[in-house]
Structure 1
Amino acid sequence: MNSPDKSTRLPNAAFLIAENLRLDVGGGALLADLSFSLHPGLSLVRGGDGRGKTSLLRLMAGVLVPSSGQVRRGEGISLYYQCPESSEHDAIPAHAWLAALRPNYPAWRASEAPALIEALGLAEHMAKPMYMLSSGSRRKLGLLAAALCGAQLLLLDMPYAALDGRSCRWVHDLLGEAAAGQTQAWVLADYELPAALAGQKLAALIDLGD
């Protein structure tokens, strides 16, 4: 049982490899016999309610430890995991939360922040404590960080949930560009691939069933 190894050389230039993953919850297997590799582009983890989408992302991020099997992350591959529901930073302003992330990401795109904050309608919320943000605004803040951080492996858990139409279109554009990218591996966990992305080629499809 291994959490992601940050100093592993992986075959075929993979950013992350999962081998024979199993996660037991409540006396039964939530996830079993999962093996896959992640490469640059857009990958989809699809599945119905309770099928383990969030748990799989948490395994990839090293937040959870598998019951058996292993997750290996490529040497030097930086990781961003969008976890908007976390209450750990509730007391600090949104701008301070964003600033605290920046030292962890050498490729942070600071010059793009003002335009993206405006595009997501977050300008009026950046001075508010995190606990005052709606679920949609918290999610947008997490997506803002994903767009800015420059990480090579990015895990997005239900990024469209609670978003307004304008922000959904922004996410469509972001993930459309991600699908064509060669330097970052984006992982989208959702019920299905959004119709707006139906024409995009996926780097990987991890189907957890309905």
Structure 2
Amino acid sequence: MTSPAPKPQPALLRVQGLGFAYPQHTVFQNFDAHIGAGVTLVLGGDGAGKTTLLRLVAGDLALQAGSLQSGGLTSHAQPQAWRQTVFWIDPATSAFDALTPRQFFDQQRQRYAAFVPPDVPTWVALLAGLSLTEYLDKPLYMLSTGSKRKVWLAAAFAAGATVTLLDDPFAALDKPSIRFVLQQLALASRWTSRACVLAHYEAPEGVALAQVIDLDA
């Protein structure tokens, strides 16, 4: 007797018939993806569309065709609720430069209901693991590129969003911080009701992946 096939994992994010083109070239045409819990890797080289896909899912770019669904939400019909379901910060943004990290985190707590409170060990460990504690009250414009990226990463891992989007999370990080981020991704790989979508050119070491979406294939 053979064992029954495992039940397919329910999708936390459904990408259906996605279409998007820049004036110079088409990036996605009738693109589908069903993303479940854990860590999904969006794999591809430069120009493959990794960042574009994340920005489309986040609502930073408008869909030209297709739909995005998470639970009972669709991105185009409920944009405000969608932005509270999907965590995304453009790593290169300067939109928060006037804030301190502490103010930025407080702002994100207002947006994401499940964001880790500031007085619990998990939050203290996140700040320590990314060497952010001493920078909490410095304006973001005074921080290095690497330190600003650590602020975005701390928020991403603390947000508790249904879908968390990470674009090249190791860029500009020191080696201890890279190791810490890998540890956090390993924890995310065991999420059962949340999805982490990671865009990178290679698989992260030591992280069990739920799925790989290869844009170069």
Secondary structure of 1:58's match? helix
Q: TM-score normalized by structure 1?
A: 0.87
Deviations 1:75-134 (A, max 9, x none): 367221132311111111111011111012221222122222111111121111111111
Q: How is 1:37-76 mapped onto 2 (pairs within 5 angstroms)? A: 37-75=34-72
Aligned residue pairs total 197
1:94 equivalent in alignment to 2:101: yes
Query: Could you say what secondary structure the match of 2:95 adopts?
Result: coil
Distance in 2 (alpha carbons) for counterparts of 1:153 and 1:26: 29
Question: Do structure 1's residue 155 and structure 2's residue 165 form an aligned pair?
Answer: yes
| TM, length-normalised to structure 2 | 0.84
1:26 lines up with 2:23 in the alignment: yes
- How far did 1:178 drift? 1.2
Residues 182, 205 of structure 2: 8 Å contact kept? no
Secondary structure class of the residue paired with 1:195: coil
Q: Which residue of 2 aligns with 1:206?
A: 213
Aligned twin of 1:103: 110
SS of aligned partner of 2:18: strand
Q: Which amino acid aligns with 1:93?
A: T
3-state SS in 2 of match to 1:194: coil
TM-superposed deviation, 1:143? 0.9
Deviation at 1:172, TM superposition (A): 0.9
**Separation of aligned partners in 1, 2:180 and 2:25:** 39
Structure 1: segments with no counterpart, 5+ residues: 1-10
Counterpart secondary structure, 1:183: coil
| Structure 2 stretches lacking a partner, 5+ long | 1-7, 74-81
> Equivalences for 1:55-204 in 2 at 5 Å?
55-75=52-72, 78-110=85-117, 111=120, 112-197=122-207, 200=208, 202-204=209-211
SS in 1 for 2:189: helix
2:70 partner amino acid: R
Q: What's the secondary structure of 1:85's corresponding residue?
A: coil
RMSD after superposition: 1.9
**How far has the Cα of 1:12 moved from its partner?**
6.7
Deviation per CA, 1:119-172, whole angstroms, max 9, x where unpaired?
Answer: 111112111111111111111111101121111210001101111111111111
